[in-house]
Amino acid sequence: MDADDNVYDALAAADHDGRWAHGAGFDESVVEVTAPAPDGVDTEDLAAYCLMLADDALVGSQRLSEWATHAPELEEEVALANIALDLLGQARVLLARAGHLGAAERFRVAGRASEATGDGRAHDDEDVLAYFRDDRFFRNVTLAEIDLGDFAQTMAWMLVFSSWRLGLMTRLRGSADPVLAAVATKAVPELAYQREYAAGWVLRLGDGTELSHVRMQAGLDAVWPFVEEIFGAHAVETRLVEAGVAVDPAALRADVDADLEQVLPVATLTRPERPAVGLVGGRGGRDGVHTEALGPVLAVMQSLARAHPEATW
């Protein structure tokens, strides 16, 4: 592990890269999403996997965006927007890839994303998948969709989420799918920043005042029941791991544990001992079986697009 991977040591490193000012990123596609699927890889599986990783980022970004204009300080306003933008950027490329692999056609149905233009593609694939898909077809882990609570809970959430996704993207750089590999390469530094940001606040709040300590521990406790699910492999993931395309989520447990072991004691926090939330008949977010939280999140996000299904924006 080199110094850049050290979540605690990296706190001292100055960050003058001007990230706060980065743009909307809509033309920063890292790779042609139309690249063919690798030989021997099931296209539907690959599309489903892209949706999983896209939805984690999209829903997480939407949740983080709820902080806009509510952050405790202007610097945090800027940082949280930054992180939401990074996740949104990851989601957009992955959704476009899933769309190219056929996922969008399933949701491009009459009355929704209808044929408003001559070529029948009123919406880009990313928007069909983001706005015209019902919650039961979202593939994100439920950790991505839970209410973020107060700032402490948000930082607990971000530490776990970014540690996990950083481990995932770090490994995914070697994926047999060139699009996933490219997305991962771009995502790794973004997620390293997120992890550093979250770890910094977990330390400050955990070892700050009595009140902040209580809230930080409570935030961690609230997030904890949703952590176990992120290490479980869906059948699609298992098949794609064998094909050299996907990352085995079970392998990420050690990454997250290592980060938490490094941060929590210094932050004077206790690793929670709380049971994981139960699944429904063994099915969770990756199967489209979500918590009650996702429906309202998507209802807000999709409301305007669905009110004008024939419109482009």
Partner 1 sequence: MTVSDETTRLATASTPDGAPTPERGPEEVFEATVAAEGRIEPRDWMPEGYRKTLVRQIAQHAHSEIIGMQPEGNWILRAPSLRRKAILLAKVQDEAGHGLYLYSATETLGVDRTELTEKLIDSRQKYSSIFNYPTLTFADIGVIGWLVDGAAICNQVPLCRSSYGPYARAMVRICKEESFHQRQGFELLMTLMAGTDAQRAMVQDAVDRWWWPSLMMFGPADGDSPNTQQSMAWRIKRHTNDELRQRFVDMTVPQAAALGVTLPDPALAWNDERQAHDFGEIDWAEFTAVVKGAGPCNAQRIAHRRAAHENGQWVRDAASAYAAKHADRSEEPAA
Q: Which is nearer to partner 1, 23 or 275 (by Cβ)?
A: 23
Q: Which is nearer to partner 1, 43 or 312 (by Cβ)?
A: 312
Q: Which of 241, 251, 289, 301 binds partner 1 (CB under 8 A)?
A: 301
CB 141 → partner 1: shortest distance, Å? 20
Could you tell me how many residues of this chain bind partner 1 (CB under 8 A)?
Answer: 60
Interface with partner 1 includes 212 (CB under 8 A)?
A: yes
Q: Which is nearer to partner 1, 223 or 246 (by Cβ)?
A: 223
Q: Which is nearer to partner 1, 68 or 109 (by Cβ)?
A: 68
Nearest to 155 by CA among 85, 212, 89: 212
Q: Which of 4, 15, 17, 20 binds partner 1 (CB under 8 A)?
A: 20
Q: How far apart are CA 221 and CA 36, in angstroms?
A: 43
How many C-beta atoms lie closer than 10 Å to residue 289's C-beta? 16
CB 146 → partner 1: shortest distance, Å? 16
Q: How far apart are CA 33 and CA 129, in angstroms?
A: 15
Interface with partner 1 includes 23 (CB under 8 A)?
A: yes
Interface with partner 1 includes 262 (CB under 8 A)?
A: no
Interface with partner 1 includes 12 (CB under 8 A)?
A: no
Interface with partner 1 includes 209 (CB under 8 A)?
A: yes
Nearest to 287 by CA among 165, 133, 97, 138: 138
Kindly identify the residues of this chain, within the stretch 234-253, that bind partner 1 according to CB under 8 A.
none
**Contact mark string toward partner 1, 213..232, x via CB under 8 A:** --x-----------------
CB 276 → partner 1: shortest distance, Å? 29
CB 248 → partner 1: shortest distance, Å? 29
Kindly identify the residues of this chain, within the stretch 66-105, that bind partner 1 according to CB under 8 A.
66, 68-78, 81-82, 84-85, 88-89, 91-92, 95
Q: How far apart are CA 278 and CA 59, in angstroms?
A: 21
Q: Which of 166, 168, 191, 203 binds partner 1 (CB under 8 A)?
A: 203
Nearest to 154 by CA among 64, 34, 228: 64
Q: Which is nearer to partner 1, 70 or 106 (by Cβ)?
A: 70
> Applying CB under 8 A, which residues contact partner 1?
20-26, 58, 62, 65-66, 68-78, 81-82, 84-85, 88-89, 91-92, 95, 116, 123-124, 126-127, 130-131, 150-152, 203-205, 207-209, 211-212, 215, 300-301, 303-305, 308, 310-313
